[in-house]
Structure 1
Amino acid sequence: MTSYLIDNTDYRILQLLIDDSTLSHKDIGAMVHLTGQAVGARVRRMRELGIIEGYTIRWNPLRIGQNIHAFITVFLSSNKDHLPFQAFAKAHESVTELYRISGEGCYWMRVRTVDQEALTAFLDELLNYGNYRINLDMGQIK
């Protein structure tokens, strides 16, 4: 992977977009002392270089009934289970993030469900691929 150097102004633009991706180029320009057009050109360049990969939103899952937030380390039963497990996790709507990890376990995933029953049903399906260790969210700090 190639890394790219950006200058302080690019970095400030990037930080502003990370904090609030809805800011207009004109508004960002006022904060970094550039025109909106100059900010747009810098943002396009950072997108072309792959520094900016896309835009997202922050949301509150509790407001839509996703009350259970679990962090699960998965221990697969066999090497043959990797591809079927990955397909299961990618297709399951409760899995919001999935990482292949080193150290203890094979995968780490973030799961959100509406209630304990839905989490239990998910975990029952997960047992088809191996075992797991689960940690429940007790409150976000940062």
Structure 2
Amino acid sequence: MLDHIDMEIIRCLQMNSRMQWKQIGEVVHMSGVAVANRIQRLEEMGVIEGYTVRVNEKLMGSAYCVFIIVMMKDYRHTSFQEFIQQRDVIKEAHRVSGDPCFILKVQVPDHHSLAQLLDEILVYGHYRINISIGQYK
């Protein structure tokens, strides 16, 4: 069971996963050791699944963020999911209810790479794309 202190610790780690336990302790009015124990418990419970790094995709060479809405031709979702796993440019993939079957978040370096990926997706279904023109959160 999570309490308000656990939630505040999680919020701190979501903002900066490198935040020191002592710093988090100052926020939640606990010692660094007590915070470390809580974090370990949250990890053991599976609430905290891991730690990650946010990168600037443009500086990494992926200038375009594209959202691809995929409508499957048939029910070969398993093979499409395998296709998704094999493509590093696909950063997120969500199976959704409603008209589209999947929404993909893709980071590509250029239009040619996007066109190549879209050609590959046509094997599984048709698509619509939305190119991000700015990120606000």
Relative to the length of structure 1, the TM-score reads 0.92
Residue aligning to 1:48: 44
For 1:83 and 1:28, the matched residues in 2 are separated by 42
SS across alignment from 2:71: strand
Root mean square deviation, CA, Å: 1.1
Matched, 1:77 2:73: yes
Q: CA deviation at 1:108?
A: 0.9
For 2:51 and 2:20, the matched residues in 1 are separated by 13
Give the aligned length.
137
Structure 1 gap ranges (5+): none
Of 103, 108, 127 in structure 2, the residue corresponding to residue 108 of structure 1 is 103
In structure 2, what residue type is equivalent to 1:104?
Answer: D
In structure 2, what residue type is equivalent to 1:69?
Answer: C
Residue aligning to 2:113: 118
Taking only the aligned residue pairs, the percentage that are identical comes to 39
Structure 2 gap ranges (5+): none
Q: CA deviation at 1:91?
A: 0.4
Q: CA deviation at 1:16?
A: 0.7
In structure 1, what residue type is equivalent to 2:37?
Answer: A
SS across alignment from 2:59: helix
1:14-33 to 2 correspondences below 5 Å: 14-33=10-29
Matched, 1:12 2:16: no
For 2:36 and 2:110, the matched residues in 1 are separated by 44
Residue aligning to 2:62: 66
For 1:122 and 1:116, the matched residues in 2 are separated by 10
In structure 1, what residue type is equivalent to 2:10?
Answer: L
Q: CA deviation at 1:9?
A: 1.5
Relative to the length of structure 2, the TM-score reads 0.95
In structure 1, what residue type is equivalent to 2:83?
Answer: F
